[in-house]
Each structure stands twice: as structure tokens, then as C-alpha cells.
């Protein structure tokens, strides 16, 4: 993304903005003979945010997936495999929990489990630095003048349309960054691909069309991966499911995907070794702040936030036993 390519980038952005989201993703995945050269080094990034349900609406989790086609087969298209298994195995899925606000989602049984990798606990600053690094990946590590790689940003529905107060609390907007060449919505790609008529269907409904069960989609890491799976399976439906006997490419064990079920493929993704994010810690107790044990192993069950215990709101009183007063995210009642 050097200065000499600024005109080409403007042309590419305008061209991609004029296309349906599914066509942009199709071009990027290399399934089109007209894919622009600039997309070969681009990185697909899915970002899914989770905010507390009540004021002060703090960020509690981030789910991120990245797919780098240039690191696979020298950037050339690969066979996607049954239900895109070979492609999806190259997706890196991350789950970040913000340490200072982890208790806002906590219950007596902890947080919803992450199925596609390793959960790490980070500070908000660490999360922001990681996102900045993802959006500013050098084209050439040995040549700073080569600029940064392009990013195709994908979100899911209204998760990207956060309010002003929430943006202030976590000031990161991928659509405003120079490296973002296209912004896609994984929720409308199934509609554009004629998987469903609905433009606002949830994960459970959309993945049901591919016979894939959904578990713990409130976990932002799982949500990011489900969004990625939905978008890719929908975009590549004719490559994955089309055949002489299935001209309409109805999803199922047909065509290229006849050898195994989509449910088996997604389960194998959960069992596939996934590198942990390079930030944060894997063990953290949001009740007492210890890095030696998790919340469920905490022996300080008598610790409670007096501020929340005496609060007017019932949901705050229920949350009082998840944290100490010193780590409370709420102001005085």
C-alpha cells in the first residue's frame, strides 16, 4: 500500500464497493479469474465485539478471525475441500476477554466456552494494539516503503453498527483505516447467495441450512468463526455443492462435499490445533485478580463488591459476587 499505488487503491475500493458482498468475497478467495492483483496479498479479517448488556456498556470480549491467502499455495487458489474444510483450516480464530470487564458477563458457571482455539485475558490497551497490528501488516518485513497489506473487513449484522458511546469506550473503527479496502457483512451474504430470503437471520438459522449445529454463539470468538463459516460456505455454494444431480447447489453431502458432513468438518475445526494469540494471559480470575487460577477455581468465594451488593438494580446485585469492589466497572450508585 505504497504511495505509488494510491490511485490503484482508490479504483479498487470503488470497484469493490459497487459489488455485492458475496462477489467481493468470491473474488478474494480466488474463485474468480478476474480477481484484482492487489487482493492477492490482502487479509480477510472478521471482527465480532461483545458489550455489557447494561450501562456503562463496556467492551467485554473480542472475537477475531484472519485468513491470509498469500501464505497458502503462494497465493494461488486452492481446492476448498468438502464444505470448505481445507480453506477453513487456514483460518486463525482468536478470543480475547477484557480483564477489567470480564465480570460483567460472568455467572456462577463462568463465561461461555470458546470452541475454536484458546481464550486469553487482555487489557483494553493490549486488545487495541493487537488490532492495530492486524490492520497494519507490512507488505515486506525488510522494506518499510512497501507499505501495508490490504484488509477485507467483515462483521456480522448490527455488531458493526455500534453506538457513539460504545465507540468512545473502545475507539477502533476498521472502516476508517486506510488499509481497509472493503467492508462486508456476513449476515447478508447468505441472502445474496440465495441460501435464505432473510437479511437478518441469526447464526443458528443460517448454519442450520448447512446442517451445522451452533453452540455458545454469545462467545465472541465462536461468533467470529461462525460468521466466517457462514460467509464462506454461502459464497462458495456452487463450488462446494454443485453437481449434475444438484444443479441448484443445495447444501448437503453432495458434489465436492459428498465425502463427509458439514457437522463433521466444523467439529474437526474445533479439534484442529490453533495457535494462541500473542498477547495476554490464559489464566485469570476476575473475582480476585489472580493470574494463578481461574474464576471457577477461586477460593475467595466470600469476596463481594459492596457497591454492587447494595445497588438498586437487581442485575448488579446478582453480579456482586463476581468481583471485588476495587475492580468494579460501575460508578457509585
Q: For residues 301 and 93, which has the higher predicted lDDT (pLDDT)?
A: 93
**Domain carrying residue 135:** 3-282
Residue 327 domain flag:
no
Residue 121 domain flag:
yes
Residue 36 domain flag:
yes
Residue 88 has pLDDT above 90, yes or no: yes
Average per-residue pLDDT in the chain?
A: 89
Calculate the alpha carbon distances from 315 to 321, 329, 330 in Å.
11, 14, 12
Residue 256 domain flag:
yes
User: Which helix (H) or strand (E) covers residue 98, if one does?
Assistant: strand 92-98
Q: What is the tally of structural domains in the chain?
A: 1
Helices 220-235 and 21-28, axial angle in degrees (round to 10):
90
What residues does 61 pair with on adjacent strands?
A: 50, 97
Q: For residues 123 and 145, which has the higher predicted lDDT (pLDDT)?
A: 123
Residues 227 and 160: beta-carbon distance below 8 Å: no
pLDDT digits (tens, 9 = 90+) for 166-198: 666 777 889 999 999 999 999 999 999 999 999
Pairing of strands 59-68, 92-98: antiparallel
Residue 166 domain flag:
yes
pTM equals 0.91
Rounded to whole angstroms, the Cα distance separating 256 from 13 reads 33
Rounded to whole angstroms, the Cα distance separating 236 from 216 reads 25
Residue 152 domain flag:
yes
Residue 258 has pLDDT above 60, yes or no: yes
Which residues, other chains included, contact 74 with Cβ-Cβ below 8 Å and sequence gap of 6+? none
Which residues, other chains included, contact 283 with Cβ-Cβ below 8 Å and sequence gap of 6+? 121, 291, 292, 293, 294
Residue 138 domain flag:
yes
Quick check: bond before 33 cis, omega within 30?
Answer: no
Sorting pLDDT into bands at 50, 70 and 90, what band is 302?
Answer: confident
Residues 43 and 29: beta-carbon distance below 8 Å: no
The residue-averaged pLDDT of 138-151 equals 86
E strands, 144-208, are 151-155, 180-185
Residue 4 grid cell: 505509488
Rounded to whole angstroms, the Cα distance separating 251 from 211 reads 8
Residue 318 domain flag:
no
Backbone angles phi, psi at 56, to 5 degrees: -90, 25
Which range, of 77-81, 212-216, 284-288, averages the lowest pLDDT? 77-81
Which residues, other chains included, contact 214 with Cβ-Cβ below 8 Å and sequence gap of 6+? 203, 204, 207, 208, 226
Amino acid at each position: 500500500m505504497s504511495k505509488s499505488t494510491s490511485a490503484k487503491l482508490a479504483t479498487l475500493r470503488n470497484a469493490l464497493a459497487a459489488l455485492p458482498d458475496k462477489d467481493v468475497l468470491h473474488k478474494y478467495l480466488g474463485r474468480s479469474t478476474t480477481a484484482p492483483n492487489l487482493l492477492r496479498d490482502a487479509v480477510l479479517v472478521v471482527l465480532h465485539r461483545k458489550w455489557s448488556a447494561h450501562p456503562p456498556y463496556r467492551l467485554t470480549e473480542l472475537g477475531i478471525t484472519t485468513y491470509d491467502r498469500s501464505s497458502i499455495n503462494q497465493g494461488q487458489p486452492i481446492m476448498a475441500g468438502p464444505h470448505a474444510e481445507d480453506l477453513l483450516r487456514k483460518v486463525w480464530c482468536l478470543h480475547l476477554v477484557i480483564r477489567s470487564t470480564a465480570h460483567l458477563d460472568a455467572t456462577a458457571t463462568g463465561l461461555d466456552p470458546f470452541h475454536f482455539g484458546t481464550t486469553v485475558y487482555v487489557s483494553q490497551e493490549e486488545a487495541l494494539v493487537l488490532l492495530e497490528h492486524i490492520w497494519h501488516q507490512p507488505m515486506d518485513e525488510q522494506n518499510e516503503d512497501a507499505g501495508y497489506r490490504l484488509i477485507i473487513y467483515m462483521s456480522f449484522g448490527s455488531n458493526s453498527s455500534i453506538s457513539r458511546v460504545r465507540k468512545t469506550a473502545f475507539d477502533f473503527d476498521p472502516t476508517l483505516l486506510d488499509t481497509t479496502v472493503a467492508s462486508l457483512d456476513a449476515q447478508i451474504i447468505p441472502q445474496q447467495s440465495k441460501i435464505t430470503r432473510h437479511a437478518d437471520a441469526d447464526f443458528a438459522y443460517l448454519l442450520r441450512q448447512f446442517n451445522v449445529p451452533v453452540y455458545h454463539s454469545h462467545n465472541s470468538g465462536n461468533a467470529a468463526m461462525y460468521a466466517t463459516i457462514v460467509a464462506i460456505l454461502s459464497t462458495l455454494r456452487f463450488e462446494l455443492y454443485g453437481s449434475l444431480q444438484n444443479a441448484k447447489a443445495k447444501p448437503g453431502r453432495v458434489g465436492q462435499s459428498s465425502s463427509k458432513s458439514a457437522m463433521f468438518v466444523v467439529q474437526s475445526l474445533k479439534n484442529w490445533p490453533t495457535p494462541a494469540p500473542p498477547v495476554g494471559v490464559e489464566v485469570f480470575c476476575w473475582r480476585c485478580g489472580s493470574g494463578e487460577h481461574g474464576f471457577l477455581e477461586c477460593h475467595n468465594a466470600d469476596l463481594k463488591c459492596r457497591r454492587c451488593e447494595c445497588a438498586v438494580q437487581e442485575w448488579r446485585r446478582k453480579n456482586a459476587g463476581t468481583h471485588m469492589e476495587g475492580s468494579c466497572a460501575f460508578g457509585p450508585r
